[in-house]
Structure 1
Amino acid sequence: MTLGQKIAWDDTILPFQLDNADIRGRVARLDGVLDGILKQHAYPAPVEALVAEMALLTALVGQTIKLRWKLSLQVQTKGAVRMIATDYYAPESEGAPARIRAYASFDANRITDSAPFDQLGEGYFAVLIDQGKGTEPYQGITPIAAGSLSACAEAYFAQSEQLPTRFNLSFGKSTEKGGVEHWRAGGVMLQHMPKASPFAQGGGSGEDGLLVASDIVDGEDRENWNRANMLLDTAEDLEMIGPSVAPSDLLVRLFHEEMPRVFDVQSVRFGCTCSEDRVRNSLSIYSAKDIEKMTTDEGIVTADCQFCGAHYRLDPKTLGFEAENSPGDNG
C-alpha cells in the first residue's frame, strides 16, 4: 500500500462499549488530519509531537459532544512551548464529518533536545465546551503534571468529572513501502461509566494531590477497570496507528472477553472556520484611529490565521465601527 491509497479507517473515531466491564471508549486513527494540521507550520520536532498528541486527544474526547457543539483543548505554560490550542467541531448533521484544527505557540530559542513534554513548564491543561449561541461555555482546568499530555487529560477527568479515564496513544512519522514519510497517529480511550463515587472525597493520590482513577473506583468496578487497563497495555504501536489493523480487530484482540460492542464510526477532517467575514467582525470593535495604527506602509491591514495559515489583506476604510466604505465599494 502506497501513501496515496487511503485506508478505510484513516481519520476515523470508533466508539465502543465493554458490556462486561461497565466501560466505554473510543479508538481514533488520524492520518490526513495530522498532515493538514502540521504542514501549515515548520514546527521543531518536539513541538510537532506535542501538537500530534494534543490533536489525537482532541479527537478521542471530542467524539462525545453533541451536534454543532465545539470542544477546545488548551495548554498554557511558562515553558518553551507557551501554548497549544486545538478545536473539535462536531458534525453539523448526522453522518457528516467532524473537523479538527490545532496550532502551537513557542519560543524557538528555548526549545531543547529533551523529550517533548519537557518543553512545557508550569501551567495548566484546559477543556472548554461551547454549546452555541445563548449558552455559557463550560471550562475545566487542571495543572500540567504527570509527564504527558494524555496524563494531564486523565487528571482532568478524574479531578473535574470524577470519571476514571485512561489513554493509550501512539503517534509519529512513518514510511510505507513505496511512499514518503508522513505522520500517523492512533489511540484508545477508556472511561468508566458515570456513577456516584463516595471514594473521591478529599485529596487524591496523584501528583500534587490530584485524583487518579484508582481513587474513584472500588470493589468489582476497580477489578474490571484494572483488568481493562492491563489488556490495553498489551497494545503495540503498529496496532494503535493501524496501517494494517482495523479498529474493530484491535478491540477484539484486546477485549474479546469483555464483550466489546461498537457503534457508528465518526469520520473527521482537518478544517478551519476562519474567514474574511470573521476577521472583519473581530475588528469591528476598533475605531478608525485604532485601524490606522494597524495599517501597513502599503495601506492595507493584514491578518493571518494561526490554525490554517490563511492570509487576509483588507482595506482599512472598510474596517472598524467608523468604516467609511463597505467591502466591495469602489468609492
Structure 2
Amino acid sequence: MTTLSQIAWDDTILPFQLDRSDIRGRVARLDGTLDQILSQHDYPAPVEALVAEAALLTALIGQAIKLRWKLSLQVRGDGPIRIIATDYYAPSAEGEPARIRAWASYDPDRLDPEGPAFDQIGQGYFAVLIDQGAGTLPYQGITPLSGGSLAACAESYFAQSEQLPTRFMLAWRRERAEGRDIWRAGGVMLQVMPASSGSGASGGASGEQGLMTANDILKGEESENWNRTNILLSTIQEDELIGPKVSPTDLLVRLFHEEGPRVFDAQSVRFGCSCSPEKVRTSLSIYSAKDISHMTTDEGIVTADCQFCGAHYEFDPATLGFEATRTPDDGE
C-alpha cells in the first residue's frame, strides 16, 4: 500500500531529449533509496550532504551505462572528509531496477559539523570509473576538485574528458513525515548530444584551474541552444525537484515546453550492495597465514564489515588466505 511518504515517481530516473536544442538529459528522484543509504550510517550533516549529492550524481550519470555494467564515483581529499564513494549497478536484465550504494570516510576530530561540506574535502580529485565486466579494463577519468560542489566537479569532468557540456541542478533535504525523518532528493541533468558537441572547440580552457567550460567547446547555434536551455533550467524551484506534487514529466513540460521535450522509459532504482562472504574471502586470498593471524581476534575469528551496507562477517582464519588449511564447508 502506498504511504504518505511515498509518491509514484520515487526512486526513478527518467531520460529525456529536447529535440529543438539537440540536448539530452535525465530527471532523478532518490527518496527511499537515499533514505536507505544514509540510514546505514550516522553521518554528521556535512557528510550526509555530500553523500546525498554524490548519490544523485551517480544515478543521473549511471543511467546511461549498459546492462550489467558498473559505474562508480570516487571523491578523495586531504581534508576532514577523506572519501566519498558510490556505485551504480546497471540492471542485469531489461525491466529490473538498477542498484545504488554509497559510503563516506571522515575524521571526526577535524570535521566542523556546522561548516561548509565541500570545503571540508580539501585538495583532491573527483573520479568516474566504468567497469564493463569480466575480460575488460575499467575506464577511469579524473578531474581536480573545483567549483564549490560535487556537481561542478562532475560538470568539469564531462567538459574535460568527453568535451560534452553538462549541467546539474540538485536538491535534497530531510523532512518529517509519518512521525519520522525521511530524505527527499531529486535532480536534473542536461547534456549536449555527442554528435552536436565539440565542433567549435577552440582548444582553450577558461575555467577554474585551467579546466574547460561549455564556452570553450560550443560556438554559434550550439552555444545559443545550450545557453537558452540553461536559463530555463535555472528557473527550477527546490520543491519541483523533491516535492510530492510535481511529477518529472510535468516538470519537463514546465521548463522546456518550447524545446520539444521527449521522454523515454523510466528506470527504477533501489539501494543495493554487492558484498558477500565470497567477495571477502577473495579479497583476503592474497594474504599468508601469518598475515591472517594478525587479523584474528582474541576470540579466534576474523571479522569484516561492509563499509556500504554495514553487513558483518565472521570467518575461521584457517579457511582464509592462500595458505588456508580448511575449506569454508569444513570450518564454519
Structure 2-normalised TM-score? 0.96
Matches within 5 A, 1:120-135: 120-135=121-136
Conservation of the 8 A alpha-carbon contact between 2:204 and 2:216: no
**Alignment partner of 1:230: what SS?**
helix
**Alignment partner of 1:328: what SS?**
helix
Amino acid at match of 1:153: A
Query: Which whole-Å CA distance do the structure 2 matches of 1:315 and 1:239 have between them?
Result: 52
Q: What whole-Å deviation, never above 9, does each CA across 1:151-190 have from its counterpart, x for those lacking one? A: 00000000110000000001111224x4422111000000
Structure 1 alignment gaps of length 5 or more: none
Query: Which whole-Å CA distance do the structure 2 matches of 1:4 and 1:325 have between them?
Result: 52
Query: Which whole-Å CA distance do the structure 1 matches of 2:5 and 2:46 have between them?
Result: 28
Conservation of the 8 A alpha-carbon contact between 1:3 and 1:179: no
Amino acid at match of 1:316: P
Percentage of pairs with the same residue: 70
Query: Which whole-Å CA distance do the structure 1 matches of 2:189 and 2:226 have between them?
Result: 13
Which residue in 2 is equivalent to 1:66?
66
Is 302-311 or 241-250 further displaced after alignment?
A: 241-250
Query: Which whole-Å CA distance do the structure 2 matches of 1:310 and 1:63 have between them?
Result: 26
Which residue in 1 is equivalent to 2:190?
190
2:272 is the alignment partner of 1:271: yes
**Alignment partner of 1:9: what SS?**
coil
Conservation of the 8 A alpha-carbon contact between 1:172 and 1:184: yes
Structure 2 alignment gaps of length 5 or more: none
Matches within 5 A, 1:155-234: 155-176=156-177, 178-195=178-195, 197-234=198-235
Query: How far apart are residue 201 of structure 1 and its match?
Result: 4.1
Matches within 5 A, 1:1-331: 5-112=5-112, 113-176=114-177, 178-195=178-195, 197-329=198-330
Query: How far apart are residue 6 of structure 1 and its match?
Result: 2.3
Conservation of the 8 A alpha-carbon contact between 2:199 and 2:218: no
Query: How far apart are residue 203 of structure 1 and its match?
Result: 3.5
Cα gap change, 1:2 to 1:69, in 2 (>3 Å): closer
Conservation of the 8 A alpha-carbon contact between 1:200 and 1:211: no
Cα gap change, 1:330 to 1:77, in 2 (>3 Å): closer
Structure 1-normalised TM-score? 0.97
Query: Which whole-Å CA distance do the structure 2 matches of 1:93 and 1:2 have between them?
Result: 26
**Alignment partner of 2:329: what SS?**
coil
Amino acid at match of 1:210: L
